[in-house]
Amino acid sequence: MLEILHEDANCIIINKPAGLPTQPDKTNDRSALDMVIKYLGRQAFIVNRLDRPASGILLLAKTSNSAGKFSKLFQSDKVDKRYWVIVKNKPEKENGQLEHYLKKGSKSKKSLVFEDDKKGGKKAILNYELLKSLEHYHLLEIQLQTGRFHQIRSQLAAIGSPIKGDVKYGARRSNPDRSIHLHARKLSFVHPFNNEKVSFEAAPSNDDPIWKAISV
């Protein structure tokens, strides 16, 4: 089932489940883009992306013109993007800002993290806040200031707090369904076609016992 959070003449916003690729890849598995195209009965255009093992808000444009406007908006600093992550190791401080330099590894398909730009990395900044703690897990809210490849995953791993299930970035074990506990929770912006301030929220999977236990 395609969970639609919003639809208008210019875009459709969905809640992507973990494990579903954003767009077709070499696996030839069904993608979120395939599902939206089938639902609309015509072409659609991806504006923002989510890693396959992550879940949450995806915005797709309905025309090439609207895709251009939304893409330009998302490339600016005028979109407020909030993510929820579950980690086993709580950060030393309950809230703060992380700043690193990231470089995509050519062979590892990972983001390599550096403290300065001497290795040619791009600056990556995020803010985080501890929302809730259980006995073994902690829920953080992430606000991105930049949009780099695997930014949240790599930066949290760099401070010793890899995302639950994310073995690529240092988690001790994978989740049974190969998902990671990274969820695009909230998206807020001024709509480029009507100039109205809009905000959308997507709930994490209620079928996942950890999300169910820790969500606030």
Give yes or no: 51 in active site: yes
Of the residues 29, 34, 51, 116, which is catalytic? 51
DSSP string for residues in the chain: ---EEEE-SSEEEEEEPTT--SS--TT----HHHHHHHHHTS--EE-S---TT-EEEEEEESSHHHHHHHHHHHTTT--EEEEEEEESS--SSSEEEEEEEEEE-TTT-SEEEESSSTT-PEEEEEEEEEEEE-SS-EEEEEEESS--TTHHHHHHHHTT-PBTT-GGGT-SS--TTS--SEEEEEEEEE-TTT--EEEEE-PPPTTSHHHHHH--
Active site residues: 51
